[in-house]
Each structure stands twice: as C-alpha cells, then as structure tokens.
Copies of this chain bind each other. A is one copy, B any other.
C-alpha cells in the first residue's frame, strides 16, 4: 500500500488569516452550536432528533425515530469534525460529547455490527431493503470516517472497534459471492470511508469491498432497477426523474462514464473513491475515468464560484453542458466540499495545479459562503443571483434561501462545512515521495518528519508570501510549492519555472532559508463561455481566487442592469472594519435608468453611474437581506 500523502492533521497549524480565523471560529462557536442543534436545543431551528435517535437505539430513551433516512450522518460528520478540532484545542463540552457518542454508538450497535437508527427504529423497515434511497450505507460511511478520526485523535480503539465490526458485517454481506448482495450504495460515501478504514486498520478487505462497490456500480442488470421491481415500486422518486439511473451515477460502469451526471454530491463522493482506489491499487482505468470526468466538469459544469450542481428542485443535479443558471444554481455547500475532497485526491495522483486551483476556488467562494460570519448560520444552496421577492415567490427557486439559516430539516451541509474547515490543514499541505507540497497559502506552522516551516502571508488580500525554513530533514529533500503565477525566490534568486503549476526545488534545506513570492492579484474581469446564458454579456470580478459579488445593501435595488464599463479602473480596497477586514473592489459602476414603460424602442437605454463596492462572494448576505449578483453587465461606453 503506498504511503498516504496526507500529513497527520496536527502537523499543520493554521495561525490566523482568513482561513485560520474561520477554522478557529468553527472550533469555538460552530461546533458547540451544532451540538446544541443536534440535541434539539436551538429555539426556532428545525429539530434534528439525530442524537435522540441514537439514544433511543441505545435504549436510553423511548420514542420514535424522527428525521430523514440519513439523520445518523449528521451526528457522524459532527463527531468527525470534533475529533479534528480536538487535535488543536481541548474543550470540555466537546470532549464530553465525543465520549457520550462513543458510548451511545457502542450500545446502539446490534450484535452483528449493524448500526442505522432509521432502519433499527422504524417499524417495518428492513435492512438492505432499499439501498437506493434509504442511505444506510451512506450513514455507515460517515460513521466509519468519524471512527477513524476518533482513533487518530484519541488513540482509543473503542469507536474503531465498532466501525470494524460494522465493516466486517458489510464484507460478509456485499460482494459477488453466491450468498452475497451484489449491489452498491445509493449515495456514494461508504467507498471512500472503507479506504480510510483499510489504511487505519491495515485490513485490505475493506479496500477490496470499496473496489467492489465502485466497479459494480452501473453494471447491467441495474441493481436499483431490480431492487425497485422487488419492492413493487409504482413510481420512481421525483428527484431521479430526469436522469434516471444517472442520478445515482449508475447508468453505466464508472470506467465508461464520460461526463459528470446526476446528483452532484453523490458524484463528488464517488469520484473521490475512484481517485482513492486508483492511488491505492494503481488502477489506471479508474484514474483515467477521474481525469476525464474532471476535464468535462471543469470545461462545462463548474460555476465561477467553484461549485457544481445546476438543476435544483429535481435533485441537485448536474445539468446539460454550460447550463449554469445563476438564480437557480444549486451549488450546494456539500457539493463544493466534495469537489475540494476530490481535487485533493487528484493531487495525490498528479501534482498538478489544475486541481489545486479549483480546490482553492471552491474553498474561498462556495465553501466559505456556506457559513455565516457569526459562524452559526448556513447556506445549503448557494445562488449567484438573488432577488428576495422573486426568490420567495417563485416555485422553481423554492430551495434557495435568501439568508443563511440556523439549521435545516435536511442538515447535511452544516456539519460538513465544520468537518471540512476543521481538517483544512490536510488540504493546505501534503507529503510527496521526496518531501512536501504546499497547495494553499495561509499563515501556518508546519511540523512533520524533520520539517519545521512557517508561512507568513495576508493572502488572498495581499500578494506577498514568506516561507521560513525553521528546520529541515537531513539530506536532500524537495519542497513543491504551487506557483500561482508568481516568481518564487530564495535569497533573491528565482527558483525557476513551474512544472504543472508547481515550483519544485530539491536541495539540502537549512534552518533560516527563506522563500518568498508576490502572487499577482490583479482585479480581473472574468467572462464565461457564450453558451452560459446567465453570464451572456456579463463579467464577474475576481482577484486571485476570490470572486466578488454586489449587494443591494451597498447599491440599492435593481441589480440586473448593474455593471461596470470596460475602461473603468477598479481598485482593491482594504476595509479593516468590514467583517474583521476584507479587500473589496471600488470604482465606478453603471446601471440603466428605469424608463417609464416596460418596453421601449429607444436606441439607447439611459444610464447612471454609482460608486461600486463589490465584496467577496463568500461574505454576501452578512449585512441584511437584499438583492445580490455575481455576473455584472459588461458595459461598453
């Protein structure tokens, strides 16, 4: 088995800056508040019932299961995040909650290893009865990820034992054997978790089961069709209507899939497992499939904010190529998290900055947007244009919230964003066969295998990056740094050309070595492919990885015609008092003067100029409800 490329999480300590501060707030605010939500103690928020389901299954309480089929996963994702947090700081409430959960899981688990409160508590529900919809395998996956994180953090074998007992049941139950179920999960997630468990336990049967699930998917006869016939299902669920088996990425075997299709989060988690297995087993067919799907996604399906999923009400799906509406974008927070997870795994296959660039884009825009500045309100759907009146009135925008909310009935995103941010170090740096690779730029301290590095920067607001080698392993070692269009230098001398977007320097590093760069952060006007209707004749403003938005709070209502003239000079502006400090974009904006009638045949619409204040997209919705837009009119004067 190849060396895992992720560093132990505690090797990377983020020390402030945009990312570090957000991670810290997740630890001090978000996780505590989410524990309250999972225990139904937030007035006004939709009750979760998730911990209560576990208590009932453990026999501590009586009552009925409540919530969705995948309610268990909310607790597991939260526990995983809490374990990551515990590597850096101890909090008595979190510690006690973690212990309580371990105890509950142990007692809720059935004798043969099964552990899914929906199935256990719902009268008439049967195991493996509806793998397509019931999410038991998905919940197992999240539980296993939590158990591995708990073991890595605490060293206690208790939760890992529950997970291996469960995984052993799966190994026995699923497979190509005559007495086994030849199926795969309705929502991929278990596959990548089994790879993690194989690494943590050293038991390759779990990886083999992941490989079975991934390769069985999409084969004919389609398991979900057979299963539905067995259940005598009359009508398929509405959310799968338009993509049929592709909703579950089960239309053809994964090695034959050529474009991302179906439910976006499912797709991301599946592609993660495919990349994991490509790396673990050296399977080139899975690797090539990943590379092909990645190319198609980036070329035709990626929102400018680094998000995926364009068709909302029917199922959070990938749509047709270039179909990226802005007011009905799904761009689910979980899908952008899944995109980061996949990108990070693609970097394990090839140290190529195309993956890190998209990972960074998703992080600074779609993912950070999922969490409010007060760190306890969330977006599930991330629109690129909002008009609150229309959004509330229109049926086809019913999934879009105009403001972040304290919790959801379907609460997959809040613990997922906590989990992602609490493990952000794993996305910032990885180890390579010959040294270290730095993907994200943030103030941090890194300590691993003889290395001690300090990164100082105010990126993405400012251009300069300084990396100090405080200690280095003996002998020659390689530092690979994402170039990000910069000329990286050591002692005034360029470190040379980047290869695949990474500057790679092998040498005997000395304490006191300093590497610097100025990453160019010009304000850029981004244009979309002409088949993207929502962006036709429009531009988005970007600076480095940060995409900008304009809000009604700064400009008044009527943003559809709001734009910038081509020759207008735009200025990055440090605003220290805005949400603890962000760089906004100032300049002169333009909008059409409202005419008297709905339609007119005048040659030119009247225009007026107003001061522009574009704010980073992820910060929108933090000062009152109102219109918001990413794509701005591209005025010619």
Q: A residues bordering B, Cβ < 8 Å?
A: 238, 241-243, 298-300, 302, 304, 311-315, 317, 319-320, 322-323, 327-328, 385, 387, 389-390, 392-396, 398, 524-533, 536-538, 542, 558, 560-561, 566, 591-595, 597-603, 605, 633-634, 636
Contact = CB atoms under 8 A, between A and B. Distances in A.
Given A526-B599, A600-B526, A633-B537, A531 B393 contact: no
17 contacts: A242-B392, A242-B393, A299-B597, A302-B598, A314-B395, A319-B394, A327-B533, A385-B533, A395-B396, A525-B601, A527-B602, A530-B558, A530-B560, A530-B594, A530-B595, A536-B537, A537-B538
A337 to B, nearest CB: 21
Contacts of A527: 599-602, 605
Contact of A320 (B389, B533, B536, B634): B389
B396 A396 contact: yes
Nearest to A385: B533
Q: Which 9 A-B pairs have the closest CB atoms?
A: A314-B395, A530-B561, A396-B396, A530-B592, A537-B537, A533-B560, A320-B389, A636-B636, A524-B601
A238 B238 CA distance: 15
A636 B320 CA distance: 30
Nearest to A542: B601
Given A299-B598, A320-B390, A323-B390, A311 B530 contact: no
Q: So how many copies of this chain end up in the complex? A: 2
A194 B396 CA distance: 37
Given A304-B599, A536-B537, A314 B529 contact: no
SS class, residues of chain A in contact with chain B: loop
B558 A595 contact: no
B313 A395 contact: yes
B396 A311 contact: yes
B313 A529 contact: no
Contact of A560 (B311, B387, B393, B531): B531
Nearest to A540: B599
Contacts of A242: 392-395, 398
A293 B407 CA distance: 40
A296 to B, nearest CB: 11
A521 to B, nearest CB: 13
A153 to B, nearest CB: 39
Contacts of A532: 560, 598
A560 B529 CA distance: 10
A391 B278 CA distance: 36
Residue from the set A312, A319, A392, A395 with the largest chain B CB neighbour count within 10 Å:
A395
A594 B529 contact: yes
Contacts of A393: 242-243, 311, 317, 319-320, 323
Indicate the member of A312, A528, A530, A602 with the most B CB atoms within 10 Å.
A530
A283 to B, nearest CB: 29
Contact of A300 (B387, B398, B598): B598
Contacts of A591: 530
A593 B390 CA distance: 33
Contacts of A602: 527
Contact of A241 (B243, B317, B395, B396): B395
A532 B592 CA distance: 11
A359 to B, nearest CB: 16
A558 to B, nearest CB: 6
Most buried by B among A537, A594, A634: A537
A566 B313 contact: no
B320 A598 contact: no
A394 B605 contact: no
Given A299-B597, A319-B394, 11 more contacts: A241-B395, A311-B395, A319-B390, A320-B390, A323-B389, A525-B603, A527-B600, A528-B599, A530-B592, A530-B594, A532-B598
Nearest to A595: B529
Output the residue of A299, A302, A393, A598 with the most chain B CB within 10 A. Answer: A598
Contacts of A538: 537
Contact of A298 (B328, B542, B592, B598): B598
A560 to B, nearest CB: 4
A313 B313 contact: yes
A396 B531 contact: no
Contacts of A560: 530-533, 536
A446 to B, nearest CB: 32
Nearest to A326: B533
Contacts of A603: 525, 566
